[in-house]
Amino acid sequence: MSEEKIAEKEAPREAPPASPHGSVEPAWKVSARSARSVFFAALASLAATIAAAALTGHVQSLWPLFVVGAIATLILFVLAFARSLVALARMARADEPVGYAAPLQTIGVGLMAAFGLFLALMGTFGMARGRQLRKRGKVLLPPLVPGGDWARLTMEGEIPEDVRAAVAARWRENGRTEHASVAAFARLTLDLMALGAPPELVESANRDARDEIRHTDLCFSLAKTIDGRDEGPGPFPEAQSARTLLSNRTLALAELAVDSLIDGALHEGLSARILSHLVRRCEVPAVRSLLHELATDEARHSVHGWDAVAWCLEEGGAPVAHALRGAVAGLPEHPGTDLPPAARDGAWEAFGIHSVELEEEQHRNALASLTARVETMIRREPVFR
């Protein structure tokens, strides 16, 4: 061996960086700290992307910002994951004993919070009334086709002629969401059974599905009463392609918990709040009676959503709790309303169609109540005491 190689081999290696107290900091700690820093940057990027997504519905020019944010977030998460793997590898090769719990817990908390945040983004990307089917965040709805199969109820209701067609169209749109909710609750039943949920939750999901069948009938029957047209939901093959739970039980529990929090507790609860106010403002007796029935049922569905959240939290523990906290952080401050322009100022509240002001007000109230309740539920769990 040459003298140069011998000298190079015997030369002292560069010492790892020193800690603030002057001692040498292990390499795995440096990597773990770096992974955490990148991870928190990814969370910040995800939060900004969610905000851009919420604004995109109102300001189309922000769409490029959302795309850039989504790409940047993905890159940061991949980088954080890679650095986490480096940190774990260095822990395994460390000369001194390494306590895996603290760094792994930090990484795990961040991952589950990000998972919940991502699910919240997908669950609030489009406007939804109640529990809905989604595929990659997009709400799936059935098409409208000629036929009165889903308008089986005899109703009465006189709407002014100048808005008759538009109001009927809106009630048909409501009927489409109710029809899709039937499939969403069927999906929920399968998910609950796959995870071994208690019979009370399975029974509630099936009862709620029957409610949605009647709601579909009510909405399409009212629309037919208003404009005399036979029209209803057609074949809905997209229902078979809706998102299903992940195979890992912990992740599946977190996914179901966040879905139930958003679609069940929040969206169903928000619908119940809005409908209960519309009952007092509606001027058409038949429509007012319909609104009262819908409000009662949606409030019960919201309670069932909270029941599912509580069970998932009890079963999944800390990972589910972190996912729920991430989801709450990702919920938009404003609902993505899809109201027709003519209804936005409240002119249609007399016919059972809410205004933007009512929707915004009740969304704020529902969001504040939800945030406080989630924290209370989490703190009651033994792992957080």
Distances (CA, A) of 183 to 69, 177, 179, 239, 297: 33, 10, 7, 7, 17
* Cα–Cα dist 99/109, whole Å: 17
- 198-249 pLDDT tens trace: 999 999 999 999 999 999 999 999 999 999 999 999 999 988 887 788 888 9
* Structural domain spans, the chain: 23-99, 134-384
Who wins on pLDDT, 329 or 311? 311
By CB neighbour count within 10 A (0-12 exposed, 13-18 middle, 19+ buried), where does 18 fall?
Answer: exposed
Q: Please tell me the class of the 134-384 domain.
A: mainly alpha
Which pLDDT tens digit goes with each residue over 19-46?
Answer: 444 556 777 677 777 877 787 787 777 7
Q: Which residue has the tokens 């539920």?
A: 377
pTM of the complete model: 0.74
For 18, which DSSP code? B
